[in-house]
Structure 1
Amino acid sequence: MIAPVRLLAAAGPAFALSSCAGPDVTPGDPWQARLDSLLEMEGARAPGAALAILRQGELVWSAAAGAAAFDAAGRAPERPLTPQTRVRTASISKLAVALTAGGMAEAGVIDLDAPAAPWLAFPFSHPAAPDATVSLRQLLSHTGGICDPARYWAELGEDFGAVFESAWCEHAPGGGFTYSNLAFGLAASVLEAASEERFDALARHYALEPIGLGGAGFNWSGVDKAERLEGGALHRWIDGAWRVQIDSPAMLSGDGPVVLIQPGHALEDYEPGANGSLFSPQGGLRANVIELALLAQAFAPGGPGEALSQPVWRGDGGPGIRAWGTGPQILEQGQIPGRPDLSAVGHPGQAWGFFGGAWHIPELDASIAYFVTGEDPDEPKPYDPVSGLTPGETALLVLALDWLDAHDGR
């Protein structure tokens, strides 16, 4: 349903927004009003927000507020954001990469703990520890000794191996934790080489379709054209307007996957394994907020990602980073704001104005996903030293937990 909400504060974009709620929401619903109000939260201004909650694997609440698209001036909303609107989900995408690897390991296609180098088309060894091997599990848990260079991807037609010339951490593989986007491009290369299939197809077969995300896709690969047209852009508030950062109308109206290709090359000629970064495994999954909650649910006990949720590393990796599994981050009891009795497994994501997260809360048998679709880059967004979440992310997570408390966790 579509209902008007009030204008944003004068300090921000001054235009009328709309909200679109999911099941179990009625006009005047205080939970929807609370979500609407987060668009005006000081320090977390956003053009749109969405939230979904699963309880025992079933959707119990979903809602959205704000706009998915604006006019060319970046001020007048043209389409509302809904719980069904797919957006680029930043590093939450890494959960789908982990599920893909786990599914392929379960099928006997790949060994998560075997050396990755034999699958690669370029030399791959840590210069400070040339005899140390790097496994898929280490890549997915950020313990492979790979650091992100300024550019951690390659276009089709470039040498992906050249990216690694400045990508090695000081610590050897297995000798520490360093969050790495590049490691996921490398992991995708290994998965492609082992199967002789492109990563977008592998993710669909081994991860997305088995958990009910058949409509989602990496870099829009496989997403229905009509649903792609209804996708949401990501924005930043620049010079008094919401400026599109990614997934512009031209990109949403396109055909086929969105990949970076140099002149003289074509995706049809791509050899799987040559460049796993093409489909942005580190952050390119397009999914809606309900699908993200289902993705988190996959890491619940009994889910296909349960084994991947076991800690591979523990330590102090920065704000909120205390433990990591084979893909998912682990928030231990005492890390979730205001709820020291709860833990979570999942992943946050921040890129192109997107801030969000997808988490399974085992103590509640609940899975929660939330995101905003833009930011004001001039507003400070400090990361909480314990949870690692920004104030806006914290407000969305607390809203979901409060909803569960008010509904007796149903």
Structure 2
Amino acid sequence: MKKLFSTFICLFIFLQGFAQFEKTEAEITELMKKIDVAGLAVAVVKNNKLIYNHSFGKKSIENNTMLSNTDIFRIASISKSFAATSIMQLVEAKKLSLDDDFGDLVGFKIRNPKYPEKVITLRMVLSHTSSINDSQGYFNLDVINPAKNENWAKCYTDKSPGTGYLYCNLNFNMVGAVIERITGKRYDSYVKQHILSPLNLYGGYCVDSLDSQRFASLYEYENQSFKLATAAYAPRREELSTYQLGHSTPILSPTGGMKISAVDLAKYMMMHMNYGKLGSTKIISQKSAKQMQTALSDEEGYGLALLNTTNMIDGVPLTGHTGSAYGLYSAMFFDPKEKFGFVMITNGADGKMEKGFRVITRETLRILYQNLIKN
């Protein structure tokens, strides 16, 4: 009798979970019609386990192919956390310090001309408190090198380094160059060897190192229609053929160029959620992981390539990062204490904003939270 009762309970729980998945999929499908979304991939972690992974909509509008769970996306600025994770590995190996003068690390003078005596540290660069801006672009390190660009001073704001937050992509393309200078390895190779491969994840920064058949096409949303972003997966073979370590790094875009699937990104997220470990695999120490997750700017809640917020899902404290490029919107957010988290990636959507985040991102995570975590 006890065995029968136990079987009944298990069946009840299974059916209840199945019903929640169906409800989730119906609500997301309706959301995609309401907001206008090309395709969307999601993954959910609960109680430290991956419980849900699903793909909706089109992988390619032109070819009328549907998105699948094995497809990979350029994930934009979530990529920054891979650079910061790499830096923390080098800190632990005592190859550098977060308080090092960033100019010494990158190989040319990094000083705000308005505050010439104030050292700009690696920690400031990782937390976007460096006073550096993207006004001169960020795809070439020469823009901020005084020996290469007479307008280098325009790369700095009026704020004193370390006193204010300003999101800056140039910061992380320079961080990638530092990793190359310290390790002697190309940035994408370092990340693959020290993060992706140990975690058994398929992804990378170099287009030609990946299966192009798995790329989800990206679409910019303009005038209520989708336009293919042809530059999203440009291989840049000619530039790579003359690659110089520590200088050509923006070609690989440490600031935004990681390509990975939603489910593998969720596994990477679980490593951070568990303070540097996934199962028995340790990527960084608990101390390093907590440093990355600790806000250095109270107003923005930004740490070292990870953000703390209660605005993604109203009133729910989460840690993670968003991404936006070539029409794609991505998000990776988790609660390291309650051991749940979400990944969502859309390859094209109406990008309207609400409370500092994309509506498609907030609404997707709200549906996942309500149906699969809270309930």
Give me the TM-score of the superposition, normalised by structure 1. Answer: 0.77
Which residue in 2 is equivalent to 1:390? 358
Gap regions ≥5 residues in structure 1: 1-23, 72-76, 253-257, 317-321
Contact 2:295 2:307 in 1 (8 A): no
Which residue in 2 is equivalent to 1:5? none
Deviations 1:90-137 (A, max 9, x none): 111111111111122222332222112113333322111122222222
Q: For 1:93 and 1:273, how far apart are their aligned partners in 2?
A: 18
Q: For 1:168 and 1:403, how far apart are their aligned partners in 2?
A: 45
Which residue in 2 is equivalent to 1:176? 164
Q: For 1:25 and 1:216, how far apart are their aligned partners in 2?
A: 30
SS in 1 for 2:197: helix
Q: For 1:221 and 1:394, how far apart are their aligned partners in 2?
A: 33
Deviations 1:27-68 (A, max 9, x none): x92222222222112xx3110111101224421001111111
In the TM superposition, what is the alpha-carbon distance from 1:325 to its structure 2 partner? 1.0
Q: Supply the AA of the counterpart residue of 2:88.
A: G
Which residue in 2 is equivalent to 1:328? 306
SS in 2 for 1:267: helix
Which residue in 1 is equivalent to 2:11? none
Pick from 52, 55, 59: which aligns with 1:61? 52
SS in 2 for 1:357: strand
Which residue in 2 is equivalent to 1:366? 340
In the TM superposition, what is the alpha-carbon distance from 1:323 to its structure 2 partner? 1.0
In the TM superposition, what is the alpha-carbon distance from 1:400 to its structure 2 partner? 1.4
In the TM superposition, what is the alpha-carbon distance from 1:80 to its structure 2 partner? 1.0
Q: For 1:311 and 1:286, how far apart are their aligned partners in 2?
A: 26
Q: For 1:167 and 1:160, how far apart are their aligned partners in 2?
A: 6
Q: Supply the AA of the counterpart residue of 1:395.
A: E
Which residue in 2 is equivalent to 1:3? none
Q: Supply the AA of the counterpart residue of 1:327.
A: A
Pick from 203, 210, 213: which aligns with 1:229? 213
Q: For 2:341 and 2:77, how far apart are their aligned partners in 1?
A: 17
Q: For 2:81 and 2:209, how far apart are their aligned partners in 1?
A: 18
Cα distance change on mapping 1:314 and 1:276 into 2, 3 Å: same
Deviations 1:332-351 (A, max 9, x none): xx43434x2x3111101112
Pick from 182, 188, 193: which aligns with 1:205? 193
Cα distance change on mapping 1:186 and 1:52 into 2, 3 Å: same
Q: Higher relative contact order at CA 8 Å, sep ≥6: structure 1 or structure 2?
A: 2
Gap regions ≥5 residues in structure 2: 1-16, 277-283
SS in 1 for 2:198: helix
Which residue in 2 is equivalent to 1:308? 291
Cα distance change on mapping 1:64 and 1:197 into 2, 3 Å: same
Contact 1:52 1:83 in 2 (8 A): no
Q: For 2:133 and 2:225, how far apart are their aligned partners in 1?
A: 35
Cα distance change on mapping 1:93 and 1:197 into 2, 3 Å: same
In the TM superposition, what is the alpha-carbon distance from 1:218 to its structure 2 partner? 1.1
Residue 218 (1) aligns with residue 205 (2): yes
Runs of 4+ aligned residues of structure 1 deviating over 3 Å after TM superposition are 162-165, 237-241, 334-338
Deviations 1:155-177 (A, max 9, x none): 9xx77733844211111221211
Give me the TM-score of the superposition, normalised by structure 2. Answer: 0.83
Pick from 19, 22, 29: which aligns with 1:36? 29
Contact 2:112 2:153 in 1 (8 A): no
Q: If each structure's helix is expressed as a fraction of its own residues, which one has the higher value?
A: 2
SS in 1 for 2:207: coil
Q: For 1:99 and 1:51, how far apart are their aligned partners in 2?
A: 23
Q: For 1:188 and 1:164, how far apart are their aligned partners in 2?
A: 20
Q: For 1:115 and 1:371, how far apart are their aligned partners in 2?
A: 36
In the TM superposition, what is the alpha-carbon distance from 1:25 to its structure 2 partner? 6.5
Deviations 1:189-219 (A, max 9, x none): 1111111211111221233223332x11014
Q: For 2:368 and 2:292, how far apart are their aligned partners in 1?
A: 22
Contact 1:68 1:81 in 2 (8 A): yes
Q: Supply the AA of the counterpart residue of 1:291.
A: D
Cα distance change on mapping 1:118 and 1:344 into 2, 3 Å: same
Q: For 1:238 and 1:335, how far apart are their aligned partners in 2?
A: 27
Work out the number of aligned pairs and report it: 345
Q: For 2:221 and 2:248, how far apart are their aligned partners in 1?
A: 33
Q: For 1:335 and 1:329, how far apart are their aligned partners in 2?
A: 11
SS in 2 for 1:211: coil
SS in 2 for 1:324: coil
Which residue in 2 is equivalent to 1:8? none
Q: Supply the AA of the counterpart residue of 2:214.
A: E
Cα distance change on mapping 1:298 and 1:393 into 2, 3 Å: same
> Which runs of structure 2 are paired with 1:10-409 in the superposition (5 Å)?
29-41=22-34, 44-71=35-62, 77-154=63-140, 161=145, 162=149, 164-213=152-201, 215-220=202-207, 222-223=209-210, 225=211, 228-238=212-222, 241-246=225-230, 251=233, 258-259=235-236, 261=238, 266-303=239-276, 304=284, 306-316=289-299, 322-331=300-309, 334-338=310-314, 340=315, 342-376=316-350, 381-384=352-355, 388-405=356-373
- Mean Cα deviation higher: 176-185 or 354-363: 354-363
Cα distance change on mapping 1:219 and 1:150 into 2, 3 Å: farther
* Root-mean-square deviation (Å): 2.7
